[in-house]
Structure 1
Amino acid sequence: MAEEDEIVLSFNDSIIRKSDMQLLDGPYWLNDRLIEFCFEYFEKEQFNHSADKLCLIGPDVTQFIKLAPAEEIAPFLEPLNLPEKQFIFLAVNDNQSSDKAGGTHWSLLVYIRNIQEFRHYDSQKGSNTEEARNLAYKLQPYVHAPMGRMKFLEQDSPQQQNGYDCGVFVIATTEHLCKELCEGYNISLMDMVNSSSVSKKRQQLKELIHHTAREYGS
């Protein structure tokens, strides 16, 4: 790897390089490595008090679940103890290739056990509906959701005003819902996540990555 694309942060299974950080300057689409880091940070640090009931599945595993044959999925999901989790988050990408990165849009799929419901949050409403619905069907037996008529709902979600902020909306929406579901936060998603807060979130993520790198000696 060229020196100019040096590693900025190594955190559990996440590696963030200088080129990834540059995507946060905008106006750029976020890649899977940045979303993977945020999901890991939320689960292992910010919301680790709820680790027994919370599972955030990053983009790579989500993409595998979406595209792999059903019989190959179980070995990847069993270690996650999904039947024990109350809230399961997945970053959904519209990429249909199993062997290379890509895609043009991110959205968020959440399973909430106590109401036995999959909820889809899409900042470009309707763009990832089929991808998210198909993913929910594949996940249904592994989360022990009731068989038969699956509850899949498109949620009212904050909407992006450009073609590149979908990944930041996924991160901001995930953080907000974790606060709501795990900490009783009672300010609505629509009031807290918007184009202005998402623009600020890019700088906040840069600061979080640098702070985590200092804390973990990366």
Structure 2
Amino acid sequence: MADDGEIVLNFNNSLIRKSDVKLLQGKHWINDIIIGFCFEYFEKEQFNHSADKLAFISPNVTQFILLANGEELAVQLAPLGLPDRQYVFLAINDNLSFDEAGGSHWSLLVYVRSKQEFQHYDPLNGSNKHIAKQLAYKLQPHVHAPMGRMKIIEMDGPQQKNGYDCGVFVIAMAEHLCREFCEHYSISINDMVTSESVVKKRQQLHDLIYQVAKEFAV
């Protein structure tokens, strides 16, 4: 019997096991580990040509932002250099507990400095709207967003048709937006990120993990 705890990939801060990879195969809700790896890969590999513009905050740090106080937050976020980034990406989970893993839905929050606004892409019709607003208010001083009226825009983004693909939608939407922001990609996000493309994205991510594991093998 295969050991689901076997390590498949150790990439920077991402440690992926077989049990994590299996979530990409079939009708499974993907976890923070897969999303965290994709965010790291975007920042350090795929879009490293725009590393001075982009910041990807890992899901576990996003959870910390939601629940931490101001002083703790400042210490945690200072090394990320968020005031110097044009675009800040965060994957939001509806779990509000420090002590227990869980949650049932992922969405994407992006700070766009040129528009001085937070954009929320929720693949399930604003299910995480309240949490996105909390997160934006916590982040405002740390990205040096203008004080005063907070701009949080619920975007007309791609919508999932089931209860388990939200995390893959978040990854696909973040990738598309990076292309749009940094590579002058002009095709609409709603045309590119669809239920059909997300099914293919699962296999692409599965293959990417093993490809990166091979490339970074010691």
TM-score for the superposition, normalised by structure 1: 0.98
Q: Which residue of structure 2 lines up, in the alignment, with residue 98 of structure 1?
A: 98
How far apart are 1:3 and its partner, in Å?
4.1
Runs of 4+ in 1 over 6 A off after TM superposition: none
Q: Root-mean-square deviation (CA), in Å?
A: 1.0
CA distance in 2 between counterparts of 1:143 and 1:10 reads 29
Paired residue for 2:115?
115
**Structure 2 unaligned spans of 5+:** none
Residues 1:16 and 2:19 aligned together: no
Amino acid at match of 1:167: G
**Alpha-carbon distance between aligned partners in 2 of 1:184 and 1:76, rounded to the nearest angstrom:** 32
Q: Normalization by structure 2: what TM-score?
A: 0.98
1:138-176 CA distance string (max 9 Å, x none): 000010000010110000011000000000000000000
The 5-angstrom pairing of residues 117-136 of structure 1 reads 117-136=117-136
Aligned length: 217
After superposition, give the CA deviation of every residue in 1:74-122 in whole Å (9 maximum; x if it has no partner). Answer: 0110000000000000000000101121100000000000110100000
1:7-65 deviation line (CA, Å, top 9, x unaligned): 00000000110000110002000000000000000000000000011001010000000
Alignment of 1:19-168 (within 5 A): 19-168=19-168
Structure 1, unaligned runs of 5 or more: none
Report whether the alignment pairs 1:170 with 2:170.
Answer: yes
How far residue 71 of structure 1 moved from its aligned partner, in angstroms, is 2.2
2:4/2:17 contact within 8 Å kept: no
% of aligned pairs identical?
A: 66
Q: 1-side partners of 2:71 and 2:94: how far apart?
A: 22
2:42–2:48 Cα contact (<8 Å) kept: yes
